[in-house]
Amino acid sequence: MKDRELVDMTMDQVRRMIVESLTPEELLASIAGLDADQVLSRYKPEERLRGIPPEERLRDVPPEHAILALSDTMLAQLPETLLVGLPEEIQAKVRARLGR
C-alpha cells in the first residue's frame, strides 16, 4: 500500500484493516486482554455457532461423537445394531438420553 493511500484512509478503514490482519485470539487479547475461552464462555452454544452452516459445525468431530448431535427423536430411530457398534462411552450417553 502506498503512503498516499494510507493518508487518505478513514479511521474506520484503518481499524478494519488492522482487525482483519489479526487472528481471533490476537483480536480478543487486544480488546479486553482475554483469551478466546474466557470470551466464548460468556456466550450460549447457539450464540457461538451463529453464522456457521450446520454442515460445518461438526466438521472436526469424529463420526462416533457426531451421533450425539442428533436429537433424541432421531437417536430413538437408530437400530440397536448401530448402537452396539459404537464405543462404550457413546453407547452409555445415547442410552442415558433415551432412558434405556
The pTM (predicted TM-score) of the whole model is 0.53
Q: What percent of the chain has pLDDT over 70?
A: 85
Query: Cβ distance 67 to 94 under 8 Å?
Result: yes
Q: What is the mean pLDDT of the chain?
A: 83
Q: How many CB atoms lie within 10 A of CB 36?
A: 13
Q: Residue 88 has what pLDDT?
A: 95
pLDDT tens digit sequence for 12-31: 788 788 878 888 777 777 77
Q: What are phi and psi of 42, to 5 degrees?
A: -80, -10
Give kind and range of the element (H or E) at residue 5.
Answer: helix 3-8
Q: What are phi and psi of 41, to 5 degrees?
A: -65, -15
